[in-house]
Chains A and B, each alone.
Chain A
Amino acid sequence: MKKAATIILNRNLPEVTDRLYEHLVEYDGDQTDVYVIEAGSDKKNLSKYHTWYVGTEDVLANGLRYSRGMNYGMVELLKEGRFDRYDFFFLLTNDTEFQDGPTISPLIQVLNKHPRVGLLSPCSERWGERRLLLSEKTKYFWFVHNNAYMLRREFVESICDTETPHYMDFLFDGSNFRGYGSEHELVAKAYANYWAAAITSEVWASENESHLIEHADQIRTEGYDQNLQLYISEGQRWMRKKYGFNSHWSMQQYVKSFYEKFFEFHPEYVQYKL
């Protein structure tokens, strides 16, 4: 029985997606089933490993993006009765790159060692956080970038909408389409429910942004700069509408207040506090 379900989101980059899929099967095939979502890809650009194809008018035009895409994958697993089979969900964008060697097994080991960690991310060599992971290779953070989240099922179950599961709001709030601020929200939900969010340097992952920069036309999305501008403006609008926050700093303070509370009630993990 495989412990993890890995969900990869693809839009028109079959080679990149297939490479990631094959990497996972080669090094982590005994630990994970890998599911590929085609978020409105052209028929000629489907990953040869694709599991689900989403071809509604809206998705054909705009794709799913991280929040809606990952919700979609988990909802499909739920509908197909496979959600409960897994202890962990590994959510990946197709531009994620790993080192040669197992990724999932070390992550599961970390999660086994840290029973209150609900969300775990491998560190990236391009992240400054690596300098905080020297003596302790895993620490609990109040901000975790979202290109490779490993989520514990119990954590997902504690905050997801199982009554009316839908790709718009199962775990992530899909109304924030491009997802600026969504990481803060998920981490806040974790600490608010006494789950921690951790980064580990036991394994490394990176995001190859060159795909977005060089193949925006093929992905059928806006160019890098326009996408960035929309990502921020939409996210800020979402934060204001949903929380009344006018700044990502408000969001950060909000998350950190839950973070501090977590350690008050779980002093046994204080060595992992930043």
Chain B
Amino acid sequence: MIHQRLHSFIQTRRCTLLGVGPMSLNCVDATIELANDYDTPILMIASRRQIDSEEFGGGYVNNWTTEEFAHYVTENDKKGKILLARDHGGPWQNTKEINENMGLRRAMDSAKSSYSADIAAGFQVLHIDPSIDIHGDPDVDEVLDRVFDLYDFCWSQAQRRSKEIIFEVGTEEQSGSTNSQEELDYTLRAIKKFCTKNKIPPPTFVVIQCGTRVMEMRNVGSFDSPIRVANEIPAEIQLPKMIEICNSHGIFMKEHNTDYLSDEALQWHPRLGIHAANVAPEFGVTESKALVNVLEKYGLVKLAELFLKVAYESRKWEKWMVEGTTSTDRDRALIAGHYVFSKPEIKELKDEAGIVLKRKGIDLDQYLKQEVKNSILRYLRNFRLVREI
């Protein structure tokens, strides 16, 4: 049903579906409101670091557990337009599994436990991604074995609970490079064979590296680059070919790391036949920038400085830096801002700012939510999910 509904929607609308990372409470609210206002399905793609079950101590987004997050979304999504999606589920995709240096079997069991909570909470799209292995570098067949194990587990769990789920596969990592066409074809064939043999529906989405890569506050991949990126197949060649392979298998192609692409590049997504695309950190950065701007604009400079300091000191910006970066400390803090929104000192800071700004006629969270909405709307418009000018 979900698969059919999405298929029909994409075909009729000639659009690209949007996956939004739930970067913050405001981002979640903005997404729900847009999906309901414009009657468009949006995938809310939660990574395990953002949202995870009680057992894992929840995630950094609003300190929500999987159950709390799913409950909040379903309560507020009046028209049922949001598809709750697990992004990059799988072993070692949560810091606990890494910090405890879990072995393969324990990490797989841990991942299954997380998926189980997802299914129980009503997640509808599960991304099976066992490509991370902190103890080695598994080859394609080893990764596929793990995919089959997790796929079978999730399907059985869903059947037992009478929940409808669809799957996303793809051993994507943010390499900015391109999976080989042979590897994609091989992977899809193997997965379909497994599904047929076990009478499980094939995956709805497969993640394809399309030459997108997010670093700092820009997309540095080849998709939007008018010039050649060393060692990469030009997107002009890679993309049509990968789409052709996905279409031949009847599986939707999903792009990750779509953040910061230009309007022109985004407008080409539906035309090229890219079925879905994920965007996440850009929305977090949008909110951080908006917060700092409004604080500074209304003379709350000390609060802005405190936010930037806490964000900077979290050092969550480190993984986003390009080699030889010239980013300022302020840039780094803005990149890391959304990781600290739920820290008590930032909540207090926002409460204090909220009181001052209210006197000036500004509802801080409404303002921040609107900024995030504008950012999401850029994608909805360019992906033909919203028709208004």
Contacts and interface: CB of A to CB of B under 8 A. Distances in A.
Contacts of A132: 181, 233, 237
Contacts of A265: none
A187 to B, nearest CB: 11
B236 interface: yes
Nearest to B227: A228
Contacts of B100: none
Nearest to A145: B228
Interface in B224-258: 226-228, 230-234, 236-238, 240-241
Contacts of B177: 128
Q: For chain A, which range describes its interface: under 10, 10 to 19, 20 to 34, or 35 or more residues?
A: 20 to 34
B86 to A, nearest CB: 31
Contacts of A142: 236-237
B226 A129 contact: no
Contacts of B240: 252, 256
A274 B237 contact: yes
B94 interface: no
A274 B230 contact: no
A128 B226 contact: no
A18 to B, nearest CB: 27
A274 B240 CA distance: 10
A252 B236 contact: yes
Interface in B200-227: 226-227
Given A232-B226, A247-B268, A126 B231 contact: yes
Nearest to B211: A128
Interface string A31-57: 000000000000000000000000000
Given A228-B227, A232-B226, A256-B240, A129 B271 contact: no
B237 A127 contact: no
Nearest to A253: B271
A131 B182 CA distance: 10
A253 B243 CA distance: 14
A180 B226 contact: yes
B140 interface: no
A143 B231 contact: no
A249 B272 contact: yes
Contacts of B139: none
A228 B225 CA distance: 11
B236 A248 contact: yes
B264 interface: yes
A246 interface: yes
Interface string A224-246: 00001001100100000000001
Contact of B234 (A128, A232, A253): A128
Interface string A160-197: 00000000000000000000100000000000000000
B50 interface: no
A143 B237 contact: yes
B178 interface: yes
B180 interface: yes
Contact of A143 (B234, B268, B271): B234
B230 A126 contact: yes
Among B233, B236, B238, the most chain A Cβ lie within 10 Å of the Cβ of B236
A141 interface: yes
A274 B228 CA distance: 19
27 contacts: A127-B231, A127-B233, A128-B177, A128-B178, A128-B233, A128-B234, A128-B238, A129-B237, A131-B180, A131-B233, A132-B237, A141-B237, A142-B237, A143-B237, A145-B228, A145-B234, A180-B226, A231-B227, A232-B226, A232-B227, A248-B226, A248-B236, A249-B268, A249-B271, A249-B272, A252-B240, A274-B241
Interface of A: 126-129, 131-132, 141-143, 145, 180, 228, 231-232, 235, 246-249, 252-253, 256, 274
8 pairs of A and B residues whose beta carbons are closest in the complex: A128-B233, A128-B232, A252-B236, A249-B268, A143-B236, A232-B226, A126-B230, A247-B264
